[in-house]
Amino acid sequence: MTTELNVTYCENHPHVESTLRCNRCDKPICVKCAVLTETGYRCKECVRSQQKTFDTATWIDYLLAVAIALILTYIGSLIVFRIGFFTIFLAPIAGIIIAEAIRRAIRRRRSKRLFQATAVATAIGGLLPMLSVLALTGLSIGLGSLFFFIWPLIYTVLVTSTVYYRLAGISL
Ligand SMILES: [Zn+2]
Ligand SMILES: [Zn+2]
């Protein structure tokens, strides 16, 4: 009898017994509705409203981040044409430098969309020299030019992933 009284039901699913509570608003939630965050279980509404407050980037941040990513990655990719194999070691370092430069420019503001836009700008910056070479040679890609492009391609992938994960990976 007493146990019956203590049974709570999920607010979103009135027929499902709740085994958890959101640790922010204390709402009873079922396993389906619970989202495991770094600080414990939360309801979807709380997670959503929190994500909104984390999206603090302004349009200036977008402008700065995209410009820095584009310019620095482009400069780096020009160097890659000269250093070849050493790209493997230098690309992650370049990624860290670019990510730090962007982080300083946008201060502590953050947003997932901003980081995604930055990653796209990084990829474009890395591919730009290749695209201009392709445009100059009239898109005649032979086996030789594929070999020529292998390092810029590796560079672009390494730098883009390094920049994105360094920016987005900062603990919330
Ligand atoms: Zn909640
Ligand atoms: Zn539920």
Summarize pLDDT for 118-151 with one digit per residue, the tens: 999 999 999 988 888 777 776 566 656 666 788 8
Ligand 1 center to residue 35 CA distance, Å? 10
pLDDT at 92: 93
Q: How far apart are CA 91 and CA 95, in angstroms?
A: 6
pLDDT at 146: 67
- Give the predicted TM-score (pTM) of the model: 0.64
Q: Which two tokens stand for residue 78?
A: 């020009």
Q: Is 29 helix (H, G, I), strand (E, B) or coil?
A: strand
Exposure string of 64-88, with b = 16+ CB inside 10 Å and e = fewer, is bbbebbbebbbebbeebbeeeeebe
**Ligand number nearest to the C-alpha of 11:** 2
Q: Which two tokens stand for residue 94?
A: 């370049």
pLDDT at 64: 94
Cα-Cα end-to-end distance for the chain: 44
pLDDT at 129: 84
Q: How far apart are CA 43 and CA 34, in angstroms?
A: 5
Mean pLDDT computed over every residue of the chain: 85
Ligand 1 center to residue 89 CA distance, Å? 45
**Ligand number nearest to the C-alpha of 44:** 1
pLDDT digits (tens, 9 = 90+) for 20-33: 999 999 999 999 99
Ligand 1 center to residue 19 CA distance, Å? 14
Ligand 2 center to residue 34 CA distance, Å? 8
pLDDT digits (tens, 9 = 90+) for 32-44: 999 988 888 999 9
pLDDT digits (tens, 9 = 90+) for 61-113: 999 999 999 999 999 998 887 888 889 899 999 999 999 999 999 987 778 88
**Ligand number nearest to the C-alpha of 22:** 1
**Ligand number nearest to the C-alpha of 26:** 1
Bridge partners (DSSP) of residue 20 are 29
Give percent of the chain with pLDDT exceeding 70: 87
